[in-house]
């Protein structure tokens, strides 16, 4: 099963990815996580991505597409994968389709997480993340048991540098200008399923389960 998680920043892509990967036994491929790892390791891709990410802009298609195409060619993706944060532009969606078509493959399901700007803004300004394992917390609704310490692995729980009001606002306009059109593209391919993501977490989780 080859699945794409679509939705604005803060819709809950990272939060709900685990349901899909555990149910379908497929790897989770988050381009945002890959870039953050590249920045941490000081790789050339990381150095290039950082300037865009800090402003809430998109990393150039050529960089992202190459990185994803290499990743989905790895052995653990033979039976499928979950893409989170990719594709984000029409050019990326078309490059992905072409890369898959060359192997006789296609995207089977696109889960479109629908969430209002207001909810997104509220969630992202209060979001915190574990620096080592990526576990997601929220200062209001899901704080770690000990402040600043991850419940899962004891890593540092921090605020992403792009989770500021200014950058979030920019990420939202980038989503509307460049990513939202993918909804119609995948609807046209007959693979898009809408899921309400501004309701409570369990409701969203069970709607996702019912699609798998
Ligand atoms: P969110 O969905 O909360 O915005 P991500 O972790 O998916 O966060 O992405 C963080 C940043 O990484 C984006 O704002 C962008 O700069 C970069 N990025 C991630 N995925 C892509 C992509 N597919 N194309 C271009 N840039 C990307």
| Residue-wise DSSP of 39-59 | HHTT-HHHHHHHHHHHHTPPP
pLDDT tens digits, residue range 128-186? 999 999 999 999 989 999 999 999 999 999 999 889 999 999 999 999 999 999 999 99
To which residue do tokens 């540092």 refer? 156
Q: Are 207 and 195 in contact (CB under 8 A)?
A: yes
Helix (H) or strand (E) holding 83: strand 81-84
Query: Can you read off the two tokens belonging to residue 112?
Result: 């479109």
Q: Measured between alpha carbons, how far is 1 from 15 in angstroms, rounded to an integer?
A: 20
What integer is the mean pLDDT of 60-65? Answer: 96
The rounded percent of the chain whose pLDDT value lies above 90 is 94
Nearest CA to ligand 1 atom 1: 9
Q: Are 205 and 16 in contact (CB under 8 A)?
A: yes
58 lines ligand 1 (CB under 6 A): yes
Cα-to-centroid distance, 85 and ligand 1 (Å):
6
175 lines ligand 1 (CB under 6 A): no
Stated pTM of the model: 0.92
Q: What is the pLDDT of residue 65?
A: 97
123 lines ligand 1 (CB under 6 A): no
> Does domain 2-116+176-211 fall into CATH 3.30.750.24?
no
Closest to 57 in 3D by CA, of 202, 210, 209, 179: 179
- Residue spans of the domains in the chain: they are 2-116+176-211
Helix (H) or strand (E) holding 172: helix 165-174
Nearest CA to ligand 1 atom 2: 9
pLDDT tens digits, residue range 101-121? 999 999 999 999 999 999 999
């Amino acid at each position: 099963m080859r699945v794409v998680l679509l939705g604005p920043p803060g819709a809950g892509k990272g939060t709900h990815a685990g349901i899909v990967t555990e149910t379908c036994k497929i790897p989770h491929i988050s381009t945002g996580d890959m870039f953050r790892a590249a920045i941490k390791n000081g790789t050339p891709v990381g150095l290039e991505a950082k300037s865009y990410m800090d402003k809430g802009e998109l990393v150039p298609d050529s960089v992202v597409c190459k990185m994803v195409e290499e990743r989905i060619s790895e052995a653990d993706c033979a039976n499928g994968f979950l893409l989170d944060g990719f594709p984000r532009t029409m050019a990326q969606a078309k490059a992905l389709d072409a890369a898959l078509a060359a192997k006789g493959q296609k995207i089977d399901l696109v889960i479109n997480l629908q969430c209002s700007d207001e909810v997104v803004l509220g969630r992202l300004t209060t979001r915190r993340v574990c620096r080592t394992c990526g576990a997601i917390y929220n200062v209001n609704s899901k704080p770690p048991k000990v402040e600043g310490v991850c419940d899962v692995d004891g890593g540092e729980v921090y605020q992403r540098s792009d989770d500021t009001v200014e950058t979030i606002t920019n990420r939202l306009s980038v989503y509307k200008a460049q990513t939202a059109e993918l909804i119609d593209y995948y609807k046209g391919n007959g693979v898009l399923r809408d899921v309400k993501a501004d309701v409570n977490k369990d409701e969203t989780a069970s709607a996702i389960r019912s699609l798998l």
